[in-house]
Structure 1
């Protein structure tokens, strides 16, 4: 049995802000991870491509409120920063 991926450890270096903000980013990142794992069987962010995060923003949360989509966009940008990629995401994708 493999050990589950620790999202909190993965994001430790880039998480800033209040405790509530950090917890929100962690909850959202774990949901993003679960959705991508369910759709593409990509368990860890190291295996993700830009299309996976874009899919999440465009298809999985499109019916949520504008504020919710914005907060998920911030989390996606945080994930991209942690992965040290040049991926850019805008509000039009969410």
Structure 2
């Protein structure tokens, strides 16, 4: 039996800022993880490619406000930093 992936532990090394900011990043990262897992059956960020995060930004945030897209973009950049990738994303 395998444990569910712990997104908070995954991001712990790169999270900075206030408690509320850290909570928001973890919450948004879990949402991103769930959407990617549903669409591509990729359960952990270690198996993600740039296209998975780009898909999330382009297709899942289409009806979101500008502010929401911006905050999700910050979380996506944080995920890329944690994965040690030099991926660049535009909103």
- TM-score > 0.5 by shorter chain: yes
What does 1:1-94 align with in structure 2 at a 5 Å threshold?
1-91=1-91
How much has 1:2 moved relative to structure 2? Answer: 1.8
Structure 2 unmatched runs, 5+: none
Q: TM-score, normalised by structure 1?
A: 0.95
Secondary structure of 1:89 counterpart:
coil
Q: TM-score, normalised by structure 2?
A: 0.98
Measured in 2, the distance between the counterparts of 1:87 and 1:34 equals 20
Greater than 3 Å deviation, 4+ residue runs = none
Task: Count residues with an aligned counterpart.
Answer: 91
